A and B are shown apart, each in its own frame.
Chain A
Amino acid sequence: MKESVFSICGMCGVRCPIRVEVKDGIVKWIEGNPNDLAMAGRLCAKGSAGLAMEYDYERPHHPLIRKGKRGEGEWEKASWDEALDYITGKLKPIIDEFGGKAVALSDRSGPFRDIHRSFLKAIGSPNYFNHDCTCGRNVQHASISLFGSGRKTFNYDYKRCKHLVLFGRNVFESLKVKAANTIMELLDRGGKLTYIDVRASNTAMKATRFWMVRPGTDYALNLGIIHTVLRDNLYDAEFVNRWVVGLRELESFVTPYTPEWASQETGVSSKEIIEFTHEVAQDKPAVIFHPGWMKARYLNSFYSSRTAYILNALMGSFEAPGGLFFQKGPGDVGKNGLKVLLDSIPKPKDKRVDGCGWKYKHFESGPGLLHLLYPAILSEDPYPVKAYIVFRHDPLLSLPDAEAQKNALDKLDLIVAIDSNYSETGWYADVLLPSATYLEKSSILRTEKGLKPRFGMRRQAIEPRNEAKPDWWIFKQLAERLGVGEYFKFEGMEDFWKFQLEGTDVTLADFDEKGFVSLADEPIWWDRMTDLKFKTPSKKIEFVSSLLEENGIPSFKPYESPKKPESGSFRLAFGRCPVHTHGQTQNNPVLHEIMPENTLWINTEEAERMGISDGDRVVVTSSNGGHSGTIHAKVTEFIHPEVVFMVHGFGRKIPWQTRGYNKGLGDYRFETGLLNVYDPAGGANALLECFVKVKKAD
């Protein structure tokens, strides 16, 4: 029997709407949901390769309990009852002795978190973490400091934008299908795309202006641009006067940061900076200075993101067509939102173990900062943490310095990994539970904010293969076994969906036609001079941030020049390619074939000096000498001489993933000593404060 299921992709964090064709219980075809006109069938390489992932043998089949030492790879097959009893047998005494707060959980964030967050809250732990300290935390906190709410408050109207400015935001490789298309439309219309990076990524190949800057100097560039905007009176005075607090302070701060000064730092000529600034201002307010997404890069990345946001404010691009618009939710169109299980559970009385929200009030308490969990485990300050549940997350591959992480993890009595793929962290866990893939399970309904808000549904397409179970089932089981099952009475996802929809005027049947339900017929735009909803104490855009100033963090940080590498050393940068999702897909049969391993980009002149030719094997060694490996060199003039680059996620060490095993090198393995090096204002790891030595292999 052939059927068609509307659902939501799970191959990366973008979670595009999809349509899945199933015949006799087997997935035959996946495409972008044709009912969503921005998808219209389109899908990226990873999206189609969901099929290859689904039917790949090399992923977890049944629960496993560790037999040998952690990470040794000695496992014993267990039934679900055995595995769950093992886990709760360890958790119960931990909770009895140290309280629920001794259990931490991390995930990859996203819209499907209600049930596992509720589980953690129900057992009395405030210690929920996500991956964002290695991703968007600096941007999130920059947004909160200026607007009183996070980065997802806004989205980008690329379709009507006249000039898009991207700082390393590699839109054509860190792909979002919808955004890639609207940016293509921008270019087709003759719009401008200025791309700034330490190397020419695929996005640079389409840009109308490309600046290869010295690594870590985005902030300097922004200061030079802001200086020019204010000096030459290029800002949207009406918008700024209405909405901005702290223009004078900004003006006085940027006085020394002339374009000539910025030129010295970045390598971009002052003439170009001035020309660009005038050009971009002509197109205001239909301009976007993208504040970045993954900005866990340098020690000043918070401020480079913050100044990009400030430039948008100076250009008046908020809620202007072609600029940044407020994402509207159900409440903004007079509708009730989805009900949330988390709200029905009493708040744990303890403070977060990482200090977010109390010791560090400028760090959002929601997902905290995972890198701060490790020192807390070691010091037991403010209290001990004894168990860690890692749900579809791989900190050993995404946070720096796996050895330093393991040092802390070794103090734990229990590590549980729940995933549909093998991960470096799962391999180090005590129990590995196979969770159903996105094709094998339904997830909770999600709210899709935007100009036209919607509710979206991920609907199960096929039965789980082997013994995998949906995550909601796993957490419900754990909750019941730990005596907090009262909050998890739902029988299955349909039951939960009905709960979520209580009080809305939407029914489950409404999702059948398209896979989503629109809550507005027309796009909602607010009046940008009267109706903008900033959530800061002043209700305005706070260039001088009350939140930062109250916590002793400067709103404007004096610029410090980034460190230059010593001779023979390079800063190690990493990034994305369009066929792999971070470190999750290297073993996927289809994606592995397209890109089986990564290479080391190195500047032509530097390579010549070291006798390295394109394609040569080179040895890369971490700054402390503790890790080294060989990789093919890609010698190119399109990378800054101070930096070498590799695509993230390779160099895998899980022998059961035979295709990805030991292919290429893992950037994360070279980030020694960086676990607790982070931007003090934004909280995100400074992953690019990493230096490596490179030499030709013998």
Chain B
Amino acid sequence: MSKYYIFQDVKRCIGCFSCESHCKTKNNLPIGPRFCQIIPVGPKQVKNLPRMANIFIPCFHCENPWCVSACPTGAMQKRPKDGIVFVDQMLCVGCKSCITACPWGTPQWNPETGTAVKCDYCMDRVDQGLKPACVTKCVTQCLHFGEASAKTKTTRERFARAIAEL
């Protein structure tokens, strides 16, 4: 697993799809490939109130990525320094093995280039000390980029605020 992680604070997510638009425009993608996607689930009646889940699905940047193992040309790679999984567009021949292999539907087909493309956590931004586009511009700042421990911290902080009698 890459050392990075995007944590979606679902309580703050309003299902505005801005992350998708930030991603598409940052990566200059044509209609078709979506590096991240919000999948709305619901609504359902929960404790007498309508509730909906908007699930954010980027690439998980696995420790042992199915897509990397499946790639016959070495285009799909895991970056040694931080574990970000990305496609070297020069090496991709468009065989789609990664699309078949990934259990999460992450690699996408770019009809304009005839290659596989995928979320690389905007690694050009990460290398400049910035965050991925989806996180940087998230309307309610429900997306957090950082190391996996960030999630536990956010969750604990919220729980603390909820039980504090102040």
Q: Give the interface of A toward B (CB within 8 A).
A: 29-32, 40-49, 51-52, 172-173, 175, 177, 180-181, 184, 187-188, 190, 200, 202, 204-210, 578-579, 589-595, 636-638, 659
CA distance A208 to B50 in the complex (A): 10
One of A48, A172, A205 near B25 (C-beta < 8 A): A48
Per the 8 Å Cβ criterion, residues 17-32 of B in contact with A are: 17-18, 20-22, 24-26, 30-32
One of B21, B26, B139 near A42 (C-beta < 8 A): B139
**Cβ A205 vs Cβ B16 within 8 A:** no
CA distance A303 to B161 in the complex (A): 40
Rank and list the top 3 A-B pairs by shortest CB-CB distance, nearest first.
A45-B21, A578-B16, A200-B50
**Cβ B14 vs Cβ A49 within 8 A:** no
- Note all chain A residues with C-beta closer than 8 A to B79: none
Q: A51-B25, A177-B139 are in contact. Are A578 and B17 (CB under 8 A)?
A: yes
- Note all chain A residues with C-beta closer than 8 A to B50: 200, 204-205, 210, 638
- Note all chain B residues with C-beta closer than 8 A to A204: 49-50
CA distance A43 to B20 in the complex (A): 12
**Cβ B141 vs Cβ A42 within 8 A:** yes
**Cβ B136 vs Cβ A594 within 8 A:** no
Interface residues of A, dominant DSSP = mixed
Q: How many A-B contacts at CB < 8 Å in the complex?
A: 118
Known: A42-B141, A43-B137, A659-B31. 19 other contacts (CB 8 A): A43-B18, A43-B22, A44-B16, A44-B21, A46-B21, A47-B137, A48-B22, A48-B133, A49-B21, A52-B24, A175-B16, A180-B140, A187-B11, A200-B50, A204-B49, A209-B49, A578-B18, A590-B21, A590-B24
Q: A29-B26, A48-B18, A204-B50 are in contact. Are A589 and B12 (CB under 8 A)?
A: no
CA distance A591 to B11 in the complex (A): 24
> Count of chain B residues with Cβ under 8 Å from any Cβ of A?
34
One of B14, B32, B34, B133 near A206 (C-beta < 8 A): B14
**Cβ B17 vs Cβ A579 within 8 A:** yes
| Chain B nearest CB, measured from A579 CB (Å) | 5
**Cβ A205 vs Cβ B137 within 8 A:** no
Q: A31-B136, A43-B22, A44-B139 are in contact. Are A202 and B52 (CB under 8 A)?
A: yes
* Binary contact track B31-64/A, C-beta < 8 Å → 1, others 0: 1101000000011010001111000000000000
Report 7 cross-chain contacts, Cβ distance below 8 Å, ordered by A residue. Answer: A49-B25, A180-B16, A188-B11, A210-B49, A578-B16, A590-B20, A593-B31
CA distance A592 to B31 in the complex (A): 9
**Cβ A590 vs Cβ B139 within 8 A:** no
**Cβ A207 vs Cβ B49 within 8 A:** yes
Question: Which residue of chain A is the closest to B16 with respect to CB atoms?
Answer: A578
| Chain B nearest CB, measured from A376 CB (Å) | 41
Q: Does B138 contact A (CB under 8 A)?
A: yes
**Cβ B14 vs Cβ A180 within 8 A:** yes
**Cβ B51 vs Cβ A205 within 8 A:** yes
| Chain B nearest CB, measured from A267 CB (Å) | 15
CA distance A591 to B34 in the complex (A): 12
Per the 8 Å Cβ criterion, residues 122-158 of B in contact with A are: 133, 136-141, 158
**Cβ B15 vs Cβ A578 within 8 A:** yes
Q: Does B90 contact A (CB under 8 A)?
A: no
| Chain A nearest CB, measured from B15 CB (Å) | 6
| Chain B nearest CB, measured from A242 CB (Å) | 33
**Cβ B136 vs Cβ A45 within 8 A:** no
| Chain A nearest CB, measured from B32 CB (Å) | 8
Question: Which residue of chain B is the closest to A596 with respect to CB atoms?
Answer: B31
Q: A181-B139, A638-B43 are in contact. Are A45 and B17 (CB under 8 A)?
A: yes
Q: A45-B17, A45-B20, A202-B14 are in contact. Are A32 and B49 (CB under 8 A)?
A: no
| Chain B nearest CB, measured from A588 CB (Å) | 9
Question: Which residue of chain A is the closest to B136 with respect to CB atoms?
Answer: A41
Question: Which residue of chain A is the closest to B131 with respect to CB atoms?
Answer: A41
**Cβ B137 vs Cβ A41 within 8 A:** yes
One of A579, A637, A659 near B16 (C-beta < 8 A): A579
**Cβ B162 vs Cβ A42 within 8 A:** no
| Chain A nearest CB, measured from B39 CB (Å) | 12
CA distance A269 to B102 in the complex (A): 51
- Note all chain B residues with C-beta closer than 8 A to A205: 14-15, 42-43, 50-52
CA distance A31 to B30 in the complex (A): 20
| Chain B nearest CB, measured from A602 CB (Å) | 15
Q: A202-B52, A205-B52 are in contact. Are A44 and B18 (CB under 8 A)?
A: yes
- Note all chain B residues with C-beta closer than 8 A to A43: 18, 22, 137, 139
**Cβ B15 vs Cβ A202 within 8 A:** yes
| Chain A nearest CB, measured from B143 CB (Å) | 11
- Note all chain A residues with C-beta closer than 8 A to B32: 593
- Note all chain B residues with C-beta closer than 8 A to A52: 24-25
**Cβ A200 vs Cβ B43 within 8 A:** yes
